[in-house]
A = this chain, B = another copy of it.
Amino acid sequence: MSLIVQKYGGTSVANIKKIRTVAERVIELHKAGNQMVIVLSAMAGQTDMLTDMAKAIIEDPEPRELDVLLSTGEQVSVALFAMLIKSMGYDACSLLGFQAEIHTSHLYGKARILDINNNRILDELRKNRIVAVAGFQGIDEYGDITTLGRGGSDTTAVALAASLKADICEIFTDVDGVFTTDPNICKKARKLSEISYDEMLEMSSMGAKVLEIRSVEFAKKFNVPIHVRSTFTEEKGTMVVEETQDMEKVMVAGVAYNKNEARVTIKKVPDHPGVASQIFEPILEAKIIVDMIVQNTSEDGFTDMTFTVAKSDFNATMDVLQDVADRIGAAKILGDKDIAKVSIIGVGMRSHAGIARKMFHVLAGENINILMISTSEIKVSCVIEEKYTELAVRELHKAFELNDEKGTKK
């Protein structure tokens, strides 16, 4: 007998028929003697519809009330799901954030889970009930409803799995698992049977949308094994687990890309101690998140500083930087929105030499100019011109032997 936490996303519960399919799957596992805790998202489209209602009032709705509004989406899902289970002759119980006692920080719209009191859930499980918990929502210290941000139901599921010491946390989604790269731009992308938490974190932060990044952080922290799989097949998906020795045998686990960044360069900065903080303090104050930072070697007491920000923050960044440049006496500001970041990711890099060099070689072979480079222990990222993204991804995927040449899944 296992304690299984499963999370079903919006497309998996888009209508009564689909919720019934989910219910049937859950009942099978319940009948086999497992304790089932099911986390549900809002029915597909529901969150957008509610957001539109709020935006019809004001572009920037009051965050506390927006959370009260949005949390109804998951409430509808768990109520319908529990009703369905009961109508099929099994016992079930829905629990909202405040009932499941998912305590979060006070930050409406992107609250963090601080603590879960799992007594009520354990009580319901002891009564042999299937427990349906509303994803995405919690409660703060004042008893007010909070939401965890887009993808927050993943985090709810992993946090519950950690709290309940579940044997497995299964994240059901509309894709088959985690792929070596985006199958939309590389037909030979291969489903991974296994990936480490750290690799998954890098993949998520690179824009692979399979798992919400905070859920992976949670899983890593509490060592919760995650199984990412499709709602629409019985096939196994991808296990996200602690790093194993086997994983290191593979040099590169995946190729990721991100087109949502822009590059900014501040030219001829007088190079003296403290100049970096003079540049970045005002940017952080403007709540702009900086990703890659590259500083060139100093020449005649001057240096160039280049960094990337989200495309949506590009204009704000240019405004802030103009002030900064005037103050510190930099020569000028350059900006470029037509860039992309391409990354290779793999814990194998730790034990394989020459991986970065091979990446540069592959890009050079396609005449793709590298604009910026950044490396971490398990990742190499290159910023290139946006138009080369797909080409770069496909060539790297092939060069690092990720291609599914046989057309079979690993």
Residues on A lying within 8 angstroms of B by beta carbon are 16, 50, 53-54, 56-58, 61-62, 64-66, 68-69, 71-72, 75-76, 78-80, 82-84, 86-87, 92-94, 96, 98-99, 120, 143-145
* B96 contacts A83, C-beta separation under 8 Å: no
Given A56-B16, A99-B144; A75-B83 close (CB under 8 Å): no
* B65 contacts A86, C-beta separation under 8 Å: yes
CA distance A83 to B50 in the complex (A): 13
CA distance A82 to B76 in the complex (A): 21
Q: Is the interface of A mostly helix, strand, loop or mixed?
A: helix
Of the candidates B57, B61, B69, B83, the one whose C-beta lies within 8 Å of that of A76 is B69
Q: What are the residues of chain B within 8 A of A68 when measuring CB–CB?
A: 75, 78-79, 82, 94, 96
CB distance from A60 to the nearest CB of B (A): 9
Nearest chain B residue, comparing its CB with the CB of A43: B53
* A57 contacts B80, C-beta separation under 8 Å: yes
Q: What are the residues of chain B within 8 A of A99 when measuring CB–CB?
A: 143-144
* A62 contacts B76, C-beta separation under 8 Å: no
Given A50-B76, A65-B79, A76-B50; A57-B16 close (CB under 8 Å): yes
Q: What are the residues of chain B within 8 A of A65 when measuring CB–CB?
A: 79-80, 82-83, 86, 92, 94
Q: What are the residues of chain B within 8 A of A16 when measuring CB–CB?
A: 53, 56-57
CB distance from A278 to the nearest CB of B (A): 38
CA distance A145 to B274 in the complex (A): 57
Q: What are the residues of chain B within 8 A of A86 when measuring CB–CB?
A: 62, 65
* B62 contacts A87, C-beta separation under 8 Å: yes
Given A68-B75, A75-B68, A75-B69; A80-B54 close (CB under 8 Å): yes
* Residue from A50, A65, A78, A145 having most chain B Cβ neighbours under 10 A: A65
* A62 contacts B83, C-beta separation under 8 Å: yes
